[in-house]
Amino acid sequence: MQCFGFTMRSWRSCNVRVLVAIVCGLLTGIVLGLGIWRMVIRINRGVFVPVSSTPVQFCRNGGTWKNGRCICTEEWKGLRCTIANFCENSTDGEFTFGRIPVGRYGPSLQTCEPGTLNAGSPKATRLCNVSEFGNIELQNVTKGSCSINLQTLEIQINNKTASAENISREAQVLTTDASKLTAQNITSATTVVGEIFGKPQNETQAKKTAIATVSQILDASEDVFQKAAEMDNSKSFSNLIKQMENYSYTLNDETVVEPNIAIQSVTRGDSSGPSVLFSVQKGSSNSLVSGRTSIDKSANALNPDGQTELQILLNTGENKKSCGFIVYQNHKLFQSKTFTATSDFSQKIISSKINESEQQRQNKISVEMVFNPTYDKRELRLHSYACVYWNFLINDWDTQGCQKTGNTTEFLRCHCSHTTNFAVLMSFKKDYKYPKSLDILSNIGCALSIAGLALTILFQILTRKIRKTSVTWVLVSLCTSMLIFNLLFVFGIENSNKNLKTSDSDINANPENNKIPESDTIENPNPSCTAIAALLHYFLLVTFTWNGLSATQLYFLLIRTMKPLPRHFIVFISLVGWGVPAIIVGVTIGSIYALSGNKRFWELDYRQEEICWLAVPKNNDYARSPLLWSFIIPVTIILITNITIFVIITVKVLWKNNQNLTSTKKVSSLKKVFSTLSIAVVFGVTWILAYAMLISNDDIRIVFSYIFCLFNTTQGLQIFILYTVRTKVFQTEASKVLKSLSSSFDRTKPMPSITPLKLRVRMYNMLRSLPSLNERFRLLEPSGMTEETSLS
């Protein structure tokens, strides 16, 4: 019989379950339709799949596309990183070497035996270099001693009879593997090479080998250098920098280039101009290579172009004496107490020096500099900068005598009235891509869930006397945690920092405003966002915990029906449901804060800046991600347990045919489907769709995102329909309310004709028949268990 007939008999025969199914279908169809409509709009606007401006796999062999060009690894070069820049595996006598990048010393695979002073260190090194004809070739093997370490060399260097060349060679071998250098090794090595640079000028080979040692030292980690600076009581860093400055103008127009340091010496005569221009060009890698530096003795002004990374113009006036320039690839030798480097961005240091013994009219000497920072413009935005020099009196950066001279979109310009080691200390703001506000699909789904959860909580509390206390407490706790999470998600997930206006006023500031920034990264602290992230973390864990406890409870009630619930069951599940998530969140935040050390904005290790939620892994470092240990793993364990119990209950209880029942008493398939859905919703089974959103394919991920949003933002609405609307008590009370509203309407508005009156009589009779139909809404037959243990 059709459900939409207009006769009295048709209305009475209409199955209320079908009406509920129609309502649920309409709501689901509306939400799904909005999702499809939203997807179509995104496709039409061309934002469904972001199109990269970089050709697919344009950069080869590990190269990365940055700022319009490929940045290659040291082993490759060229426009697309396809030209080999290494020496292949080789064997020389008893030593075997792996692949060695051009310009570097490669360690031998043979290491010092256990029990020796240098156990585990390579026995020899070999240089891969480019010949004067442009051919890549290997140099002779340099052997080291397993019985001499850097501390031994530190003692030997003060012995006047010791060979500086041998000491320099041993130091180079011992520092080949920078990843194994300790703070003590750094201090000893800088002391040794500093003393070598202070040796007489005839120690030419020892000093060139020492340059390679300095370059290798600069490959050590920033943390090791910071520890070495703290224990450097003899100021070996400062001594090394000074000695290298003096060495830079003694090479007679020669250039020495290592991956992390380049030295250029310039000789001048009476016919030389009043200034010297030293330039460093951009390359295909982050290392310094031969050919990237140049000297112009006749220049009288800076002339940077698109390939210029930095330039320095040394104005000497009438002084025609020799001078030297040094470029450091990073600032690790210049450990500052006022400027903190927290990122892996490399800030180059440039030095200019005139032979002080022959220097004349020093007050007229000045330098002009231009810097073109090579940071990733897709992720960082320049916030401020300062023109500084290294002050040996305070052993730190200083701005005295230096000022800004304006800047353009590409270059930062500085002017200083003296010569020494210069730098531009830059601070950056990460260019976060804050997401747009929640779309209409999420808003509607969350709004329906919030309303449904609130009504379910009220209904469960008001009708708690007709069911077991444990059943009511579990469902109310689950709905309460889910309700609070939805409210926090809707009103607090967005970071209020997205509304802050950005300004470049610090970049284009008055040249006299040359203040040293405190750090190379600027963050806008937002404690409220951190608090919201912690609350979201807690209440979502609470929701999943109560999902698991609900599964455990139903397992006891439906599978172990002959055994009573454990003693103090409510107290135990309450401690677990509300206490365990609090412990997880507290331990996570405490651990991150303790491991942050002196890091100022430690909360960004816990949460994201884009949204107020747990931080995602950086550089695929899942092992240190709070999202993995404090959320994904606990939730995965709960979901696996819930799915296991869900399958057991579905097979053994819901879909098991009882042959002792007559055909008129057998549970219908529709009722079994509703029972299965009821359990799946309260167990949180649909959250397994979240794992499909981890797929890297954008097309697949966006589809699962909408399916996930559809099922989980409406989870509260599903609970309301399956656990409130379908209960006998709710339907009885709803019929009374409808009857009361119908009666009051009859009293306030007279009927204009007899036909509407008959229609109201039919509606009244239908409402009276509802209680008799309610028995069909029970998820399990009364003969199987009582009202107290039914899933409704």
Q: What long-range pairs does 575-584 form, CB within 8 A, spacing at least 24?
A: 576/545, 576/549, 577/477, 577/542, 577/545, 577/546, 577/549, 578/477, 578/542, 580/541, 580/545, 581/538, 581/539, 581/541, 581/542, 581/545, 582/538, 584/541, 584/630, 584/634
Q: Which of 202, 232, 262 is the last residue of a domain?
A: 232
Asked if 423 and 548 sit in the same domain, the reply is no
Give me the percent of the chain exceeding a pLDDT of 90. Answer: 29
Identity of the residue numbered 295: I
DSSP bridge partners of 511:
none
Check: CB of residue 623 under 8 Å from CB of residue 633.
Answer: no
Check: CB of residue 186 under 8 Å from CB of residue 240.
Answer: no
Check: CB of residue 383 under 8 Å from CB of residue 522.
Answer: yes
Q: Which of 431, 457, 490 is the last residue of a domain?
A: 431
Confirm whether 305 is domain-assigned.
yes
Q: Name the token pair of 550.
A: 């609900």
DSSP collapsed to 3 states, 499-551: HCCCCCCCCCCCCCCCCCCCECEECCCCHHHHHHHHHHHHHHHHHHHHHHHHH
DSSP code string of 44-104:
HTT-SSPPPSSPTT-S-TT-EEETTEEEB-TTEETTTT-EE-EEPPEEETTEEE--EETTS
Radius of gyration of the chain (CA): 38
Distance, in Å, from the CA atom of 586 to the CA atom of 581, rounded to the nearest integer, reads 8
DSSP code string of 205-267:
HHHHHHHHHHHHHTTS-HHHHHHHHHT-TT-HHHHHHHHHHHHHTSSSS-EEEETTEEEEEE-
DSSP bridge partners of 294:
279
Q: What is the pLDDT of residue 621?
A: 64
- H helix or E strand, kind and range, residue 648: helix 633-649
Confirm whether 397 is domain-assigned.
yes
Angle (deg, nearest 10), helices 569-595 and 469-492: 30
Asked if 209 and 313 sit in the same domain, the reply is no
Asked if 416 and 461 sit in the same domain, the reply is no
Confirm whether 708 is domain-assigned.
yes
Confirm whether 779 is domain-assigned.
no
Q: What is the pLDDT of residue 210?
A: 94
Region of residue 67 (phi > 0: left; psi between -120 and 50: alpha; otherwise: beta)? left
Distance, in Å, from the CA atom of 616 to the CA atom of 624, rounded to the nearest integer, reads 10
Asked if 464 and 337 sit in the same domain, the reply is no
Q: Which of 792, 767, 769 is nearest to 780 (CA)?
A: 792
Distance, in Å, from the CA atom of 517 to the CA atom of 524, rounded to the nearest integer, reads 15
**Sign of the CA dihedral with 426 first, then 431, 432, and 438 last:** positive
Asked if 79 and 99 sit in the same domain, the reply is no
Distance, in Å, from the CA atom of 291 to the CA atom of 293, rounded to the nearest integer, reads 6
Confirm whether 451 is domain-assigned.
yes
Close Cβ partners of 748 (under 8 Å, ≥ 6 residues apart): none
Distance, in Å, from the CA atom of 705 to the CA atom of 46, rounded to the nearest integer, reads 18
Q: What is the pLDDT of residue 558?
A: 73
Distance, in Å, from the CA atom of 544 to the CA atom of 709, rounded to the nearest integer, reads 17
Q: Residue holding tokens 């172990």? A: 560
Asked if 466 and 593 sit in the same domain, the reply is yes
Q: Which of 431, 460, 476 is the last residue of a domain?
A: 431
Q: Per residue in 73-87, is it b (16+ CB within 10 Å) or e — as a string? A: bbbbbeebbeeebbb
End-to-end CA distance of the chain: 28
Asked if 205 and 82 sit in the same domain, the reply is no
Cα→Cα distances 565→477, 562, 575, Å: 18, 10, 16
Which structural domain, as residue segments, surrounds residue 267?
251-431
**At 561, which CATH number?**
1.20.1070.10
Asked if 608 and 699 sit in the same domain, the reply is yes
**At 345, which CATH number?**
2.60.220.50
Distance, in Å, from the CA atom of 125 to the CA atom of 142, rounded to the nearest integer, reads 5
Asked if 81 and 98 sit in the same domain, the reply is no
Distance, in Å, from the CA atom of 219 to the CA atom of 344, rounded to the nearest integer, reads 12
Confirm whether 306 is domain-assigned.
yes
Distance, in Å, from the CA atom of 579 to the CA atom of 49, rounded to the nearest integer, reads 42
Distance, in Å, from the CA atom of 346 to the CA atom of 260, rounded to the nearest integer, reads 11
Identity of the residue numbered 391: N
Distance, in Å, from the CA atom of 325 to the CA atom of 308, rounded to the nearest integer, reads 16
Q: Residue holding tokens 């750090």? A: 519
Distance, in Å, from the CA atom of 701 to the CA atom of 399, rounded to the nearest integer, reads 52
Asked if 578 and 529 sit in the same domain, the reply is yes
Q: What is the pLDDT of residue 745?
A: 62
Q: What is the pLDDT of residue 656?
A: 61
Q: Residue holding tokens 């939409």? A: 4
pLDDT along the chain (792 residues), means of 10: 40 42 49 44 40 60 84 90 93 93 93 90 92 89 92 88 90 92 94 91 88 94 90 88 91 90 88 86 84 88 88 84 90 90 77 70 76 80 89 92 79 88 86 70 80 88 70 85 90 82 51 81 85 94 90 77 71 92 94 78 84 78 77 88 82 62 52 68 74 66 71 76 78 80 63 48 47 36 34 35
Note the pLDDT tens digit of each residue in 473-488.
888 998 999 899 989 9
Confirm whether 398 is domain-assigned.
yes
Asked if 585 and 717 sit in the same domain, the reply is yes
Q: What is the pLDDT of residue 557?
A: 75
Domain count, the chain: 4
Q: What is the pLDDT of residue 764?
A: 47
Confirm whether 764 is domain-assigned.
no
Distance, in Å, from the CA atom of 526 to the CA atom of 291, rounded to the nearest integer, reads 47
Close Cβ partners of 228 (under 8 Å, ≥ 6 residues apart): 183, 184, 186, 187, 190, 237
The SS3 of residue 720 is helix
Asked if 83 and 97 sit in the same domain, the reply is no
